[in-house]
Amino acid sequence: MSRKVLDSKGSALIITLLLITILTGLVVDFVYDVYIETSSMSNWGAAQRASYIARSGHALSAELVESVNKEPYTDQRELVLPPWENFGPGVSLLVRITDENSKFNINNIIMDNGKTAPDAYPALKKLFEYLNINPNLTDTIADWIDPDSEPRLFDSEDLAKNAYLWSLDELKLITGIDDRVYNTISPYLTVHGNSKIHGDSEIKININTAEIPVLVMLHPDMTESLAKSIIEQREISPFKERQEVLNVSGMKTIGINFGGRTVVKSTMFRVTARATVNDVTRVIESVMDTSAKIKFWREG
């Protein structure tokens, strides 16, 4: 996401958001006053209002994400909109937009024909090694996804789904992936941008926004020090074309291709809008492309 976009559109959008929120708040309060008198129902009113506020935050994010398309490149991995706490006592909204193109699509380790992908699979293993996570877990994940029931490890096909992951937190169903492992690997992984699951074109990794672990996994010869050099370079000047990465010392031998996996402009974003009204919290999580087309929606 370009900072320019937020600077120029941010204040107008915040006013829009406030108006939407105040209006929906009034409607809900009105309904509340007319129909509801018991204290147990006041939670319902708070929940409804929180849900409307979260939806407002989501609508605001959709406008920001759409505006990314006008920019030639994307250089911001995450945007946390300033929290709005001036709705009144006990009401708040927090919105976070994350670039899905900064992550690796874990479904890519298994190809359409059900075979193991010769480049993406070792890349995932390299990520796990870099993060000090048992790399054998990548075998269990591959068996979980691949259509056959031939175990790579003695128990790695037990209860396997044998299909692509639909949401990333399905990983928690896999033996050996506890909260610690999941919390370590999940910031670098996505399931979005896969023609089989969500009807998207293939997602590629944005070298302007990928963090060190993802840059390291991109190529067998990538090192942490090279990844740091890439980040230093893009902080001075974001990559406007992929070939500019060759200006980073040591990158000429690796090249710009990374197996055709990289881009400089992002196409897919995750939006998390968390609204709280009187201790009742509603969270909307979605993934959308730059035309604000929703690929994934979850409300809780």
Residue ranges in contact with Ca ion by CB under 5 A: 143, 146, 160, 162
CB of 58 to Ca ion, least distance (A): 36
CB of 160 to Ca ion, least distance (A): 4
CB of 158 to Ca ion, least distance (A): 10
CB of 143 to Ca ion, least distance (A): 4
Q: Tokens 């699979």 identify what position?
A: 121
Which residue's CB is nearer to Ca ion, number 63 or number 158?
Answer: 158
Which residue's CB is nearer to Ca ion, number 160 or number 251?
Answer: 160
Which residue's CB is nearer to Ca ion, number 139 or number 146?
Answer: 146
Ramachandran bin of 71, using left for φ above 0, alpha for ψ from -120 to 50, beta for the remaining angles: beta
Which residue's CB is nearer to Ca ion, number 162 or number 278?
Answer: 162
Burial class (CB in 10 A: 0-12, 13-18, 19+), 221: exposed
CA distance 265 to 119: 22
CB of 145 to Ca ion, least distance (A): 7
CB of 151 to Ca ion, least distance (A): 8
Which residue's CB is nearer to Ca ion, number 27 or number 153?
Answer: 153
CB of 263 to Ca ion, least distance (A): 30
Contact call for residues 109 and 117 (beta carbons, < 8 A): yes
Which residue's CB is nearer to Ca ion, number 106 or number 160?
Answer: 160
135 φ/ψ angles, rounded to the nearest 5 degrees:
-65, -20
Which residue's CB is nearer to Ca ion, number 152 or number 228?
Answer: 152
Nearest C-alpha neighbor of 136 from the set 174, 107, 105, 187: 174
The residues near 178 (Cβ < 8 Å, ≥ 6 apart) are none
